[in-house]
Chains A and B, each alone.
Chain A
Amino acid sequence: MRLSYPASVKIIKVPCTGRVDTIHMLEAFQSGADGVCLVGCLDGDCHFIAGNIRAGKRVRYAKALLDEAGIGGERLGMYSLSASDGRKFAQVMREMTEKIRELGSSPIKK
């Protein structure tokens, strides 16, 4: 589709957002990520039935843990879209990047 999205986005592919565990979200921040987001299938469309729903619960839990740790749960997000929706993907990547830019760099001193 030749749509562009910010080069600062690093993509890690997983077979389903349900594969992402809470610890992965925290470790991404530990490693210095300024923001983390999960991009999963629309509600009801999960090929593995409820992987995206489990991921959603883990994201909520991780946000609370990140608030406690002092990095802020608002740096973590989750988006739902269809796997083929390139336009929406580029849009949410731009949205997320803009949001993280406003929040500033991660408070973790590198």
Chain B
Amino acid sequence: MTKETEMIVADRKPFDEIMKMISPYEKILLLGCNECVTVCAVGGTRETALLASQIRIRRQIEGRITDVGEKTLERQCDPEYANTLAESLNDYDVVLSLACGCGVQFVAENYPDMPILPAVNTRFMGVTEQAGIWSERCQGCGNCVLDRTRGICPVARCAKSIMNGPCGGSHGGVCEVNDTLPCAWQLIIDRLKARGELETYNEIEKPRDWSTSRDGGPRKRIREDMAL
């Protein structure tokens, strides 16, 4: 199955925090998502089943009869799928969503009478470096310069998001913020050098318009040609 995911990476909230959130409830629907959270192994069908089992075990230890249901939607951020939930919700008092923040919110908007709780902490948009390792690559700044930096993002991968780096804190190719972080500008320079394009580095980027980014407030995109 092909998935058109920009991959949002999340991790599961501490189990005790989840138990605390659901403590008033005895009919709980766990709602997984088949997209990003499946790819980063935190909220897909498998992880939903595991969390459901843990909750059942804990409630059995507490001697508290609990009905824990499980369902996975293809996407929770899409009305086509979120709309299919209506009937399932009749049997439950709360939904514990394993989707990213987008999914949790969209389900909550569509079912305002039902408490929808987040089981994961959404972290970033990123890539799978290798099995089990995900790292941040994109901050959705709305003004992509990857053509000028040979595919390495100075907004997401530079701790200061500077446009004409490196800064004075770059040492041995590593960022001063954290020894495990490569200096993004070192990576950009190395790549430009490898392609014999180092002279483009001398072209100074003008001060950037950040209004397309989160700095301009919550964003919306409208395509009238796509409206039904």
Show the binding face of A for B, using Cβ within 8 Å.
Answer: 21-23, 26-27, 29-30, 65-66, 68-71, 107-109
Q: A68-B16, A71-B61 are in contact. List 8 more A-B contacts (CB 8 A).
A: A21-B46, A23-B50, A26-B54, A29-B57, A66-B57, A70-B57, A108-B61, A109-B63
Interface string of B174-201 (1 = CB under 8 A from A): 0000000000000000000000000000
Known interface pairs A23-B50, A26-B50. Does A70 touch B56 (Cβ–Cβ under 8 Å)? Answer: no
By a CB distance below 8 angstroms, the chain A residues around B53 are 23, 26-27, 30, 65, 69
Question: How long is the Cα–Cα vector from A1 to B46 in the complex, in angstroms?
Answer: 41
Question: How long is the Cα–Cα vector from A27 to B70 in the complex, in angstroms?
Answer: 14
Main secondary structure of the interface of A (DSSP, over half): helix
Question: How long is the Cα–Cα vector from A71 to B60 in the complex, in angstroms?
Answer: 10
Interface string of B35-75 (1 = CB under 8 A from A): 00000000000100110011111101101000000000000
By a CB distance below 8 angstroms, the chain B residues around A109 are 60-61, 63
By a CB distance below 8 angstroms, the chain B residues around A23 are 46, 49-50, 53
Q: Can you report 13 residue pairs joining A to B where beta carbons are below 8 Å apart?
A: A21-B46, A22-B50, A23-B46, A26-B53, A29-B57, A65-B54, A66-B57, A69-B53, A69-B54, A69-B55, A69-B61, A71-B57, A109-B61
10 shortest A-B CB distances, which residue pairs? A68-B15, A26-B53, A69-B54, A69-B57, A108-B60, A109-B63, A107-B61, A69-B58, A23-B49, A70-B61
Report yes or no: B56 in contact with A30, Cβ–Cβ below 8 A: yes
Report yes or no: B46 in contact with A30, Cβ–Cβ below 8 A: no
Closest approach, in angstroms, between the C-beta of A89 and any C-beta of chain B? Answer: 28
Show the binding face of B for A, using Cβ within 8 Å.
Answer: 15-16, 46, 49-50, 53-58, 60-61, 63
Main secondary structure of the interface of B (DSSP, over half): helix
By a CB distance below 8 angstroms, the chain A residues around B54 are 26, 65, 68-69
Closest approach, in angstroms, between the C-beta of B152 and any C-beta of chain A? Answer: 33
Report yes or no: A108 in contact with B46, Cβ–Cβ below 8 A: no
By a CB distance below 8 angstroms, the chain A residues around B16 are 68
* Cβ contact of A30, chosen from B15, B60, B63, cutoff 8 A: B60
Closest approach, in angstroms, between the C-beta of A65 and any C-beta of chain B? Answer: 6
Report yes or no: B56 in contact with A65, Cβ–Cβ below 8 A: no
Closest approach, in angstroms, between the C-beta of A53 and any C-beta of chain B? Answer: 14
Closest approach, in angstroms, between the C-beta of B56 and any C-beta of chain A? Answer: 5
Query: Nearest CB to that of B57 among chain A residues?
Result: A69
By a CB distance below 8 angstroms, the chain B residues around A27 are 53
By a CB distance below 8 angstroms, the chain A residues around B55 are 69
By a CB distance below 8 angstroms, the chain A residues around B60 are 30, 108-109
Closest approach, in angstroms, between the C-beta of A82 and any C-beta of chain B? Answer: 30
Question: How long is the Cα–Cα vector from A74 to B49 in the complex, in angstroms?
Answer: 21
Closest approach, in angstroms, between the C-beta of A66 and any C-beta of chain B? Answer: 8
Question: How long is the Cα–Cα vector from A107 to B63 in the complex, in angstroms?
Answer: 10
Closest approach, in angstroms, between the C-beta of B23 and any C-beta of chain A? Answer: 14
By a CB distance below 8 angstroms, the chain A residues around B49 are 23
Report yes or no: B50 in contact with A108, Cβ–Cβ below 8 A: no
By a CB distance below 8 angstroms, the chain A residues around B57 are 26, 29-30, 66, 69-71, 108
